[in-house]
Amino acid sequence: MEHIYRSLVAIVGERGVSNRPEELWYYSRDPGVLEPHRPDFVVTPKTTEQVRDIVLLARKEKIPLVPMGNGMALTGLVIPLKGGIVLDMKRMNRILEVNEMGRYAVVEGGTSQGMLKAYLKDHHPRLRHSLPDAPPTTTIAANVSLHGQGRLTQQYGFNSDMVTGLEVVLPTGEVCLIGSPSLGPYWFSKGPTLPDLSGLFLGWLGTTGIITKVGLKLYPNKKFRDVELFVTDRVELVPSILYKLTHLEMLEDINVWFQPRPLLFKDNYHITLYFTGDTVEEVEFKRHMVWDALQEFMESKDGGFMALDYLKDTLLEMPQRGVAAFADVPRGGGFEYSGPITLIEHYPAYAAKVVELAHKYDVLYASSARLISGGHSMMFSISFAFNRADPAMMGRVKAALDEATAFALDMGGIPWKPNHFEQRLTLERLNPNTRELMRRIKMCLDPDGIMNPGNWEVNEYETSA
């Protein structure tokens, strides 16, 4: 291993490599509930060339490679299941370009959500990007590669749908440009109207290559942003409410959430809807349209809008700091969630499942769903908080989440950023030809099996006849 260490030092310098116990311990785990696995090295590359050289070294030495952003996916996707080299991408954090007219940005593979937000606010205040509620230290590349979502997902789709091009280091060492950048200097398309090769990297959880640059769509940043909060106690009405709201085609984001505490929220389902405008008139018009759309529920007294004087500032925060603060509810610094993608009509069934699991496993729950692309689907998050000093509680949370994923699959949903157990469950149920296609792609791109092994292990399944 010493020669590998020397080789890594030659690539990234002394300060860019560590095989010391402290870094190995820290980077062997994430803040979720899964077991740690120790890497052999951790590196912090600064350039694409360094990443390429690391990949070539890993290929030569047959060492696993695990790329990492900030590790806040919480489902163990940055845990080196088979050891090897963890690449902490966060030193590659430059914002390379913002094309104002084309409304896209090009950032490096470790650029954080927060820094892009601040940069746009300072230099391009008419533009914004789809910011998730994850901590602002999370990276854009990791978020898109996991099909993450953000504030603009209800309008424009998954954050991965907003990719406008990629630079990827393949597991075989080639640096590859994907989309319009493969033909010229502009980053306006991740594929169309060429064959969309971005699909070879998005959603693969780091098993088909390392993203070193991302092009990302930016959207108009309006002067005003406001929020309303609709409350109902009849979960079966939620799909209809959402259908009416999405029919308006006017809303930025729609979240549906419920939690037992604080008491203010007990026994109700809350629908936060965000809307923007460049004038007060525009915002007020949208507000009135929203109210009128839900008039029937108010007349039947089944739902109403909550006065938001004290909550508004918190709801309008981007990212919402309270999302991370949920982790401290049991005074234990942790939470993890399963966030399957499903139809909005399944909301009541999922909501019932959350409560059932919380009671069964004696864990604290919260749930927050986000609509995707005007309600074509939604991400339903089943979230459980745990006390990190209580391993038994962590075990129960893991069991509850496993059961949640199994339930989602039974309902015909798709798991989001599944951990390696959930990936196996998914692969087992996958259409065999689809699974075979995945296997061929993986074999082709990563013949040596060095990229984040233990994840999407399609090779474990027999090929179809």
59, 90, 286, 346: which one binds other proteins (CB under 8 A): 90
Least Cα distance to 445 among 171, 145, 168, 169 occurs for 171
Report the candidate in 145, 147, 171 with the shortest Cα–Cα distance to residue 158.
Answer: 147
Q: Does 240 bind other proteins (CB under 8 A)?
A: no
- Which residue in the set 122, 281, 313, 410 belongs to the binding site for other proteins (CB under 8 A)? 122
d(CA 255, CA 380): 10
Structure tokens at 269: 């389902």
Q: Which among 335, 341, 307 is positioned nearest to 75, based on CA atoms?
A: 335
Q: Which residues pair with 254 in a beta bridge?
A: 273
Q: Which of 4, 8, 23, 420 binds other proteins (CB under 8 A)?
A: 23
> Would strands 95-99 and 104-108 be described as parallel, antiparallel, or unpaired?
antiparallel
| Contacts (CB under 8 A) with other proteins, residues 43-62 | 44
Q: Given the complex with other proteins, which of 136 and 179 has the nearer CB atom?
A: 136
Q: Which residues 328-357 are close enough to bind other proteins by CB under 8 A?
A: 328, 331-335
Q: Binding to other proteins by residue 327, rule CB under 8 A?
A: yes
- Taking CB under 8 A as the criterion, the residue among 2, 3, 14, 15 binding other proteins is 15
CB of 44 to other proteins, least distance (A): 5
141 binds other proteins (CB under 8 A): no
Give the number of C-alpha atoms closer than 13 A to the C-alpha of residue 405, restricted to the C-beta side.
23
Binding segment toward other proteins, per CB under 8 A, in 25-33, 47-55, 149-157, 414-422 = 25-33
285 touching other proteins, by CB under 8 A:
no
Answer yes or no whether residue 109 interacts with other proteins by CB under 8 A. no
- State which of positions 169-208 bind other proteins (CB under 8 A): none
Helix, strand, coil percentages (3-state) for the chain, rounded to 5, are 40, 25, 40
Considering beta carbons, is residue 49 or 328 the nearer one to other proteins? 328
Is residue 381 at the binding interface for other proteins, with CB under 8 A as the rule? no
Nearer to other proteins, 232 or 452 (CB): 232
Q: Report yes or no: 224 and 283 within 8 Å, Cβ to Cβ.
A: yes
What is the closest distance, in whole angstroms, from the C-beta atom of residue 160 to other proteins in the complex? 22
Binding residue (CB under 8 A) for other proteins from 1, 6, 10, 25: 25
Nearer Cβ to other proteins, position 98 or 408?
A: 98
Q: For the purposes of burial, counting CB atoms within 10 Å of the CB of 69, is it exposed (0-12), middle (13-18) or buried (19 or more)?
A: buried
Pick out residues in 203-232 that bind other proteins (CB under 8 A). Answer: 231-232
Among 8, 34, 42, 214, binds other proteins (CB under 8 A): 42
Q: Give the span between the Cα atoms of 290 and 313, in whole angstroms.
A: 20
Q: Is 334 exposed, middle or buried (0-12, 13-18, 19+ CB in 10 A)?
A: buried
Contact 341, 405 (CB under 8 A): no
Give the residue among 90, 103, 79, 186 at the shortest CA–CA distance from 141. 90
| Interface with other proteins, residue 124, by CB under 8 A | no
Q: Which is nearer to other proteins, 100 or 233 (CB)?
A: 233
Told to check if 96 binds other proteins by CB under 8 A, we report: no
- DSSP per-residue string spanning 253-264: EEEEEE-S-SGG
Q: Could you tell me the two tokens for 34?
A: 């899964």
What tokens were used for 154?
Answer: 């209800």
Residue 186 or 265 with smaller CB distance to other proteins:
265
Tokens found for residue 356: 């059932």
Cα 127 → chain centroid: 21
Using the rule CB under 8 A, is 121 a contact of other proteins? Answer: yes
At closest approach, how far in Å is the CB of 325 from other proteins? 5
Rule CB under 8 A: say whether 115 interacts with other proteins.
yes
Using the contact rule CB under 8 A, the part of the chain among 159-167, 208-216, 341-349, 386-394 near other proteins is 386-394
Residue 264 as a binder of other proteins (CB under 8 A): the answer is yes
Number of Cβ within a 10 Å radius of residue 195: 9
